[in-house]
Structure 1
Amino acid sequence: MITTLDATTTDGIVSALLSHEGVAGGSRVLTLVVDTDAAGLEKALEAAHGASRDHPCRIVALVRPEAGDVCEPDGRLDAQIRVGHHAGAGETIVLLPRGRVAEHVDTLVVPFLLPDVPVVVWWPCVPPEHPASSPLGRLATTRITNTPALPDPSAALAALAPSSVRGDIDLAWTRITLWRAMVASILDPVLRDQGIDDIVVAGEPANAAVSLIVCWLRLRLGVPVERVDVPGAHGIDTITARTPAGELVIARTDHERVSIRRPGAREPQVVIMARREPVSTMNEELRRLTPDLVYEEVLASFAAECSHRAVPAVPAVHAVDAADADHSRED
């Protein structure tokens, strides 16, 4: 059910919210604040509602007004209250401020924060320049940005990195959780048995997830790691480890599978590793809600690298021999 409130106040929204049975918030484990625009609202709520089924929460969606939007001199606040199948496992409050009302978004959100549970702020589109010190960021224990949704994800992540503090996380990192687990399990015995000379990571130009996995591999393995841009690729395309016995290649073959070709093997091994949907990445972050120390270390390395070099990655159509792979457009 969706209840629409036009030209209302926060007190009016609270009163309407209390009139709905079962929305007192006693069973909610967090408050999720979504800061988005009108174009991205429904897609963001789809991911938030999906994640809320594992993490029951109150969702407060703040919809930024469009540039040049004209309204009453003192501003205006419209709202929606969504419950039932329109709201996942919890209630959703959509705030649509305009004019002067939109100048102090933190005061709009505060009346709807549940007591004694964490507050998470998610920017599914364009984040503030300094998330932790922004009005909404100061309310949160966890702040989630989404640079993969931006035109130049790596540049956006590099801009955010210097101001990142404990509790900040970007979904570019979450998108490579499965990649990191797979690479670690495959390369660990190789490191013990024969060692690795170097690694080549091929993937989408300007992709932040590719940038982060390159930095993670350098930090964890202590071997040279080269990034190769593959025009037309999306996300991570291949990871090639050069060893004394030959090349070990991990390649995305489609949106559900990854192939592993080991030196001397006649056929590649194919394993299931489905692409990460927005629901799954949000689900993972809402499950954790603790500082990710590995991400902090990798992001610091990425920021340092960005500050010391302005040379783009080596362009190439094919980083490794993967003629049999139908590369996915996902991480």
Structure 2
Amino acid sequence: MGKIAFLFPGQGSQQAGMGKELAEANEAVKELFNKADEVLKEKLSSVIFEGPQEKLTLTVNAQPALLTASIAILEHFKQSGIEPDYVAGHSLGEYSALVAAGAFSFEDGVHAVRRRGELMEQAVPNGLGTMAAVLGMERGPLADVCETVSAGGNPVQLANLNCPGQIVISGSRQGVEEASLKAKEAGAKRVLPLNVSGPFHSELMKPAAGEFAKVLDNIHISEAKVPVIANVSAEPMQDAGEIKGKLIEQLYSPVLWEDSVKKMLELGVDTFIEFGPGKVLSGLVKKIDRSAKAYPVFDQQSFEAAVSALKEEN
């Protein structure tokens, strides 16, 4: 039996109704949604359960909502007794992973990502920065395109290296538009503009990082109980000081998701369990390594399917 990694999705995966079925069936799960409401002093749970989707998708809501839903789904999964050897999360999901690893409390996690969302929204006035997904292009040539465009005065850079042939670029609106055209000229199959409120994981987020460091100063970070594969380095981290530094860097650095999954495979992981709405990360895992096993868990049915598959493997 190989090792198991728990994965947690990032912004963009949010869906109205996520975690609702499990909250109705499990008191401990429901309690987490109530706790999130207490921390934020508002009824985020009703936005999570009822929507509307537009309100849930606002960065300041999506970030605490996804962390809450992911940890709630994990809470339900705990009854299986299955424990991870590693945890990892995509961008915002790294916070869910750190809560799962015991590096900080659920309440501190909810507070931190609400502030992170606010600071990310404030860092660049709406409409001045954006992101786009580039499909069917290697990272080297795409990085060259971004460097050329940035040198011309419109910053743009690689932001999410998700899987082979799927890379998200981020930066100023002009930079992203220019790089998108140049990427197509250089052979990219498709470029899809993303519906995001800012240029996340780009240098333009540096002002937010300085402010966010102060938020983390007021949060108690412990050593992680299991290694967390960091977005910015694709290496395991457990030390509290390192975790803090990497979370600040993560705001303006690329998310090395493909490298992170490859690192876990190298470390002997062959089974990935995704906690959160949808199956985005499970899909990326399969694109990175077809032989890896990936199980998304988001409701009772997917929970039962994952547990019975895992028990069979043993």
Q: Same fold (TM over 0.5)?
A: no
The answer to which structure has the higher helix fraction is 2
The answer to which structure has the higher strand fraction is 1
